[in-house]
Chain A
Amino acid sequence: MNPAVHLDGITKRFPGVVANDDVDLTVERGSVHALLGENGAGKTTLMNVLYGLYEPTEGTVVLDGEPQSFDSPRDAIDAGVGMIHQHFMLVDPMTVWENVVLGNEPKAWGGLRVDKTAARDAVTELSERYGFDVDPDATIADISVGEQQRVEILKALYRGADVLIMDEPTAVLTPQEVEELYGVFEELTDQGKTIIFISHKLGEALSAADDITVLRDGLNVGTVSAADVTREDLAEMMVGREVLMEPAASPQPPGDSVLEVTGLCVDDDRGVEAVSDLSFELRAGEVLGVAGVDGNGQSQLVEAVTGLREAASGEIRYRGESILGTTRRERIDGGMAFVPEDRHERGLVMSYDLTENGILGSQHDPPFARGGRLDWRASRDHAESVIEQYDVRPPDAEATAESLSGGNQQKFIVGREFERDPDLVVAMHPTRGVDIGSTEFLHDRLLDLRAEGKAVLLVSSKLDEVQGLSDRLAVMHEGSFSGVVDPATVTEEEIGLLMAGEPLDDDSVERAAVHGDADPTDGGPDEDPMDGTAGEGVDA
């Protein structure tokens, strides 16, 4: 029997970026296949190719042995491919059955009228056949997110989908709804449907999928059977065995405590606990690295420390004083530099030029603000100095942030924050999208800061980066540190275990705060919007 889906050597290039590089993917009929990878690994791009949104640069889509050529999702739908996006495309004030038939309504009176009875019956029948338990007459706005997702699945089934692609299907669901979704998967595959779902969560792929394909940097790292693989294997496949940097020893013993976090709990936007009872201390002249698969609470931790998110409970002390309840402004003024993970949303004002962006965060402080007015000359000099030191191209302080490539935007942000003369640097993915040469420079600067006695909290999904720069390496899993280890002696296998949430008994573990029952869904943020459209780590 032919496989339901066979992608043959798919390559998708965008200007300056290879999002998918010669990817082969085979999905058997009636199976659940997980597409696993970090943000920007090319998962969504690959699925958009299968769904006809993108035309592959090279390669062929083969469905059930038949080579296909899709000009649009319409063609893909006609060929039996349905896609359920992360953000549902439902009309809120309309009922379930109206949403399902929308665009493909059964007609009566020679096409003048929607045959409501037939439409409603068809939807009821479909819903019952798959045991979906959705009231066809309910209004979308009134039903739960899990039910809305099932309506989306019904929509695809109504259009005759045999292959269902789901983009991060658990991202918006509660743990109970996730369990229900797994039940839906079983129901669908029992009836011969094929499911491909995109995820960056290991546990999810292991519990729901039959087979797992891991993508990294646009390449297919391998396809494995969920039955024969461990979480550690998957973590290793996702993060990759990259050349380890020689960890540079700290020139001096750590100084005073700069940041002290005790019993910190932070909720994400949905109100789900993303950081759970986390405690650590960071001292002057020390780099604490935080590794882990994206979405395990790193963002919420960093936001709570830097003042962008309120802590639910616990304590954060900065230079000995509690900073809970202080504003972002007060934390900036207190000498906290912050390289945010999202440069387009937070780190830069895209429509401002670099002169204006250079004072973001310092707009009330001398030398930029003096006597209630902004000194644009000083601001410009500052921007030019950052541009020169950090090799930002083009070297033009009047260029708008949006006109720069991602790597150069990143260099500018890192430069601005590093040159703030901070006491604490919180850096999240500081070298994301930056080319190799500049990455080394940024790493050297970070170590210089440490030598100057600054405290650095470094969060990165690049294992070699956190391992090479940190004095202590914490691995974060589902909101807490599954272990804090010595980066010089820890092995990749051990980090893989910790990333999967399993504690070590090794001597190198200073402290392991493992959480009891592992929650299958972590409260991670939504997938980085850049995923799929641009590969990370490539500087255009």
Chain B
Amino acid sequence: MSDSGPGSGTDPDRVPSLARRVLAPFADRSVAERLVISLAAIVLSIAVGFVIVLVSGRVAECTTAAWTMPVTGMGFCYDPVEVYVVLFNGALGYPFAVGEPGLLNPTWSPFNLSFGLTLSETTLLIFTGLSVAVAFRAGLFNIGTQGQLVVGALATALTVLAAAPLLPEGPAAGVVLILVGTAAGAVGGGFWGAIPGALKAYADANEVITTIMLNFVAANVAYVLVLEVFRAEGSSVVATRYVPEYAQIRPWLFSDSSDFALVALAAGVVCIAGLYYLLEHTPFGYDLRTSGVQAAAAEYGGVNAKLTTVRAMTLSGAIGGIGGSVWVLMSEGRWMASVPDLGFDGITVSILAGNNPIGVLPAAFLFGLLKGGALEIGFQTDVPTELVGVLRGLIILFVAMPEFFRMIGRFVGMGSGGTGGVAATSSEAGEAATEGGETDA
């Protein structure tokens, strides 16, 4: 990964090393290419979504047309422009003024409800995305982040509920309970991740199968446990008691109903940085990455493949478990049976991010935006939520097929013809290795 930017020719000591390391990737052609491709993907998905909104607006029945096609006078029930404006603008809480003079909305504040919802989803997906990414980098396909999150969430709720009476009420106890609860979530999730890791390493069980199965086990065991043992008295749903309010991660600046705390987002960003550091700057990360891209070379380099598998899955599960802690302590305040599909969305987030921890941030934010925007469309328009789901799916679909855009790029004669982003998935790297073998002489 040589940086082709203008900085590469300068004396490395003249540029501060940290700044150089942070900025170098952006000068990298493959990163720039990735950004361009992501943008093109979103534009193209909007174009396709535009047509879908129009067609379904023509099929649907309504009393007044939301949009009338010029010249033909043909009426449509849904206005595609409005849909996309609400989707993106609404997800941020309308920072842009639409139909008013001036571009920006003067009354906009970043601490609004919609943006809070967007960031809340972003925060949760950072953890699940990281969980999947770290396993991926070790060459393991962890489908079980969902189960690890469920277990971690339950461990957190039960630990905090059990520990709360032991401490005097107050903010200090809150901090302690949150830390202890999060640790319990990490341990619970880590344990749930270690199981398929050990099965893979010592019993040669395919981790895709075992993690999928353990998702069901986790969901149902947790359900029965809460239903039979830990259910809150008088609760109409299967849920534990609420953890004390002082032990919840409270919103600060953002509104209460958004269930979003900046502290949790900050913790997510710290996790991203920590995982990046772990992967790129520690011997353990080196072992893990090498196992992922070229297992035979890792073995040659003295990496214990079995142990690395168990460790990577434990770490992956622990991060997923922390996601569960955040879900309990920030979003719900209790464990409840209807756990959202954060773990599964984490797989897509990780793949969109090229399994790179840094990339998880924008990928999770895109998902958050789409989630927040979808809620907003439900509030503001008559467009059915199913249609919004289709539009979200389209955006993700296009973003997830970079090779398609590289092909178009080559076809129209732009681009380098080079393939493979910075963070190649293991299969890409494998192909690259094979190519290297063929061209070798």
Contacts and interface: CB of A to CB of B under 8 A. Distances in A.
A539 interface: yes
A213 to B, nearest CB: 24
B440 A344 contact: yes
Contacts of B403: none
B301 A360 contact: yes
B429 interface: yes
B294 A349 contact: yes
Interface string B159-173: 000000000000000
A328 B441 contact: no
B300 A361 contact: yes
Interface stretch (B49-57, B230-238, B281-289): B281-289
A402 B293 CA distance: 13
Contacts of B304: 327, 329
Interface in B290-318: 290, 293-294, 296-304
A113 interface: no
Contacts of A535: 441
Given A345-B294, A350-B433, A372-B282, A338 B300 contact: yes
A15 B439 CA distance: 9
Given A349-B294, A402-B432, A530-B437, A329 B300 contact: no
A359 B286 contact: yes
A401 B436 CA distance: 8
A540 B441 contact: yes
Contact of A361 (B281, B282, B296, B302): B302
A433 B282 contact: no
B228 interface: no
Contact of B286 (A363, A400, A409, A530): A363
A406 B433 contact: no
Interface residues of B, number: 31
Interface in A334-372: 338, 340, 342, 344-353, 356, 359-361, 363-364, 369, 372
Interface string A507-536: 000000000000000000000011001110
Please report whether the interface of chain B is mostly helix, strand, loop or mixed according to DSSP.
Answer: helix
Sorting the interface of chain A by its residue count into under 10, 10 to 19, 20 to 34 or 35 or more gives 35 or more
B424 interface: yes
A349 B283 contact: no
A3 B407 CA distance: 48
Contact of A308 (B285, B286, B300, B429): B300
A376 B283 CA distance: 11
Contacts, number: 114
B435 interface: yes
A398 B2 contact: yes
Interface string A224-261: 00000000000000000000000000000000000000
A16 B441 contact: yes
B297 A328 contact: no
A16 B296 CA distance: 28
A351 B297 CA distance: 11
Given A347-B297, A351-B432, A327 B441 contact: no
Contact of A327 (B285, B302, B435, B438): B302
B441 A346 contact: no
A348 B439 CA distance: 15
Contacts of A342: 296
A534 B435 CA distance: 13
B437 A529 contact: yes
Nearest to A368: B283
A433 B285 CA distance: 32
Contacts of B424: 351
B299 A360 contact: no
A195 B436 CA distance: 33
Contact of A344 (B2, B298, B437): B437
A405 interface: yes
Given A308-B299, A349-B297, A400 B437 contact: no
A363 B296 contact: no
Interface in A383-409: 396, 398-402, 405-407, 409
B318 to A, nearest CB: 18
Contact of A539 (B300, B437, B441): B441
- Determine which residue in B287, B300, B301, B304 has the highest number of CB atoms from chain A within 10 A of its CB, and name it: B300
B283 A363 contact: yes
Contacts of A14: 441
A518 B242 CA distance: 77
Given A350-B294, A351-B429, A533 B300 contact: no
Interface in B385-441: 424, 429, 432-433, 435-441
A389 B424 CA distance: 31
Contacts of A361: 300-302
A332 interface: yes
10 contacts: A328-B300, A329-B304, A344-B436, A351-B294, A398-B1, A400-B1, A406-B440, A406-B441, A533-B438, A534-B441
Given A308-B299, A345-B297, A374-B283, 18 more contacts: A308-B300, A328-B299, A338-B300, A347-B297, A349-B293, A353-B1, A356-B286, A360-B300, A361-B302, A363-B302, A373-B282, A374-B285, A376-B281, A396-B2, A400-B1, A401-B436, A406-B440, A534-B440
Q: What 4 A-B pairs have minimum CB-CB distances, sorted nearest first? A: A540-B441, A402-B436, A329-B302, A406-B440
